[in-house]
Amino acid sequence: MARHLITSAIPYINGIKHLGNLVGSQLPADLYARYQRARGHEVLFLCATDEHGTPAELAAAKAGKPVAEYCAEMHEVQARIAEGFRLSFDHFGRSSSDRNHALTQHFAGRLAETGLIREVSETQMYSHADGRFLPDRYIEGTCPNCGFDSARGDQCDNCTKQLDPVDLINPHSTISGSTELEMRETKHLYLCQSKMKDELEEWIDTRDGWPVLTTSIAKKWLNDGDGLQDRGITRDLDWGIPVKKGNEDWPGMEGKVFYVWFDAPIEYIACSQEWVDAGKGADWERWWRTDKGADDVTYTQFMGKDNVPFHTLGFPATILGSGEPWKLVDYIKSFNYLNYEGGQFSTSRGRGVFMDQALEILPADYWRWWLLSHAPESSDAEFTWENFQASVNKDLADVLGNFVSRVTKFCRSKFGEEVPEGGSYGPQEEALIADLEARLAAYETQMEAMEVRKASQELRALWVAGNEYLQSAAPWAAFKEDPERAAAIVRLSLNLIRFYAAVSSPFIPDASAQMAQAFGLETVDWPKAPLSEALSTLPAGHTFTVPENLFRKVTDEETADWQERYSGTR
């Protein structure tokens, strides 16, 4: 039994996420966690809410609530939505937890001891209208490199050039809109990433088979321009983890907090401590400390491409720089962006489907299937209502749902609600079983490789094989001449439903549970070779109930309505 530590990029606290956020991290991580559990492996799957930084303060102010209260409420909202999508986290933590406070301060102290933190006196943009220093991302202006008029103070989203606020042309505060900005002196801590460039590059080069997207982004940050730069890890904010050197105060850093991108990845570790505190598990150190048993853990992270630099460089610099025996990530599965109907999702314009809205429209499995089977792996992907309708109708309703319905209803009408006896398998059945064995192996290969789209194609091929067999064997025709032959066909087909319940569970867990429950089964084990045994698990006489329609079809009228409703007109 292997041990898999799986983390999803932690979603930011300020509001409900859209479908692109879901498919870029949490959903494929859940797919992989469910698959590894189904194969009998030990899994610890962790996620949390990312609760610090200016956006949390601003969202709380907009909601008219104290920031701590706002974050607590939004954590509950995001946890409830995650449950709605059947995301099977072992724990869904909070980066504002006491555990993360202590651990972040611990890492800062260790990095200071190893000479990897320096104090820097610098000038920073101060807004008179807002009465505060402005974090880089809350200053916008025109990019001096490409002329994009909404470049942020840290980076231009159009040309991706890293910037300082002073580089911007006509900068303004995104909080108040004020242009009355001045540079004032303040002191901050910097993580000396530049000292670790060679060690980080050597480490990245030892990561086996990482996606090109992951390594190319990491290498760009390491080597482009002046190479890897030191990064500020503190901010002049009220809300956050107070700057301390371990348990001790840090002279000159009074009133400052750690930068959200310093403390957020540390929450992965803190989350496992919260998991123990919540009574859900024991011994978090065997997952994270290589001196306490984590040597045999395979650690996989899932994230969108915008998070890659922080997980390939910033967080590893923290871990390696501490000089302590912490577990480093083995594989980073990164994703491109999901766009919406020819443009981007937009919260402010009400453009696109957000996670809470999606669950109000249709059950989770419809969304899980479409998003995973269209995951933006090799390039950005596009959500369109036309494609969504076609995909769920063809794959879920016409292929899988139709098979389950036809088999169970035919059996009920001719043999009653139990697996029929009589007849034996012939060349047709042997050919099907051989085909399914090959296709199952291909499916497992793609799942192990985290090739999400390819895995969905192999799963669909398993469903199609059953439909083609049913159409070819035609038990309704066989029943007229040879009822025993029809019984054998139906018996294998009913066992196929049980088989589909097992192999489909990582993608569509609710439908899988419904298929299993039709046969009175709480769980269904992953099929093992030889497949002929797995396909004869349900013996003659085993009773079943005809399940409700697994998947209904999405209509043209619904598609037109949803397209208009989420077009961004509100």
- The secondary structure of 257-305 as a DSSP string is EE-HHHHHHHHHHHHHHHHHHTTS-S-THHHHBGGGTGGGEEEEEEEEG
- Taking only the tens place, the pLDDT of each residue in 33-57 is 999 999 999 999 999 999 998 889 8
Residues 231-239 have a mean pLDDT of 91
Number of alpha helices (DSSP H) and beta strands (DSSP E) in the chain: 22, 18
- Taking only the tens place, the pLDDT of each residue in 338-390 is 999 988 888 777 889 999 999 999 999 999 999 999 999 999 999 999 999 99
Q: Is the pLDDT of residue 570 over 70?
A: no
Q: DSSP state, 223?
A: H
Tokens 């029943």, residue located: 479
Q: Is the pLDDT of residue 406 over 50?
A: yes
- What stretch of H or E contains 93? strand 91-94
pLDDT at 243: 98
Q: Which residues contact 337 (CB under 8 A, 6 or more apart)?
A: 20, 24, 304, 305, 344, 376, 380, 381
Please choose, from the candidates 351, 399, 110, the residue with its C-alpha nearest in 3D space to the C-alpha of residue 247.
110
Residue 257 region by backbone torsions, left for phi larger than 0, else alpha for psi between -120 and 50, else beta = beta
pLDDT at 132: 83
β-strand partners of 381: 338
Give the pLDDT band of residue 94 (cuts 50, 70, 90). very high
β-strand partners of 8: 302
- Taking only the tens place, the pLDDT of each residue in 253-265 is 999 999 999 999 9
- What stretch of H or E contains 477? helix 475-481
Q: How many of the other CB atoms lie within 10 Å of CB of 219?
A: 14
What's the sign of the alpha-carbon dihedral 24, 28, 30, 32?
negative
**8 A C-beta contact, residue 20 and residue 339:** yes
More confident site: 77 or 160:
77
Please choose, from the candidates 13, 510, 34, the residue with its C-alpha nearest in 3D space to the C-alpha of residue 302.
34
Q: Is the pLDDT of residue 488 over 80?
A: yes
**What six digits make up the tokens of 52?**
């610090």
Identify the burial level of 209 via C-beta atoms within 10 angstroms of its C-beta, where 0-12 means exposed, 13-18 middle and 19 or more buried. Answer: exposed
Tell me the average pLDDT of the chain: 95
**How far, in Å, CA of 394 to CA of 403, rounded?**
12
Please choose, from the candidates 116, 70, 122, 123, the residue with its C-alpha nearest in 3D space to the C-alpha of residue 94.
70
Identify the burial level of 20 via C-beta atoms within 10 angstroms of its C-beta, where 0-12 means exposed, 13-18 middle and 19 or more buried. Answer: buried
**How far, in Å, CA of 316 to CA of 202, rounded?**
12
Please choose, from the candidates 57, 17, 66, 71, the residue with its C-alpha nearest in 3D space to the C-alpha of residue 174.
57
pLDDT at 569: 56
Is 494 in a helix, a strand, or coil? helix
> Between the CA of residue 153 and those of 23, 25, 173, 225, 539, what are the distances in Å?
28, 26, 10, 18, 67
Q: DSSP state, 195?
A: G
Rg (CA), the chain: 27
Please choose, from the candidates 508, 505, 430, 442, the residue with its C-alpha nearest in 3D space to the C-alpha of residue 469.
430
Residue % of the chain over a pLDDT of 90: 87
- Taking only the tens place, the pLDDT of each residue in 95-150 is 999 999 999 999 999 999 999 999 999 888 999 998 888 888 789 999 999 999 99
**8 A C-beta contact, residue 136 and residue 261:** no
**8 A C-beta contact, residue 88 and residue 49:** no
> Between the CA of residue 298 and those of 1, 7, 74, 361, what are the distances in Å?
12, 11, 31, 37
**How far, in Å, CA of 298 to CA of 330, rounded?**
6
Give the pLDDT band of residue 483 (cuts 50, 70, 90). very high
Q: How far from the centroid of its chain's Cα atoms is residue 330's Cα? A: 17
Q: Which residues contact 216 (CB under 8 A, 6 or more apart)?
A: none
**8 A C-beta contact, residue 182 and residue 126:** yes
Tokens 């390039």, residue located: 379
Is 190 in a helix, a strand, or coil? strand
Please choose, from the candidates 129, 159, 162, 164, the residue with its C-alpha nearest in 3D space to the C-alpha of residue 146.
159
Strand pairing category for 181-191 and 231-232: antiparallel
Is 4 in a helix, a strand, or coil? strand
Give the pLDDT band of residue 226 (cuts 50, 70, 90). confident
Is the preceding peptide bond at 251 cis, omega within 30 degrees of 0? no
Q: How many of the other CB atoms lie within 10 Å of CB of 169?
A: 11
Q: How many of the other CB atoms lie within 10 Å of CB of 458?
A: 20
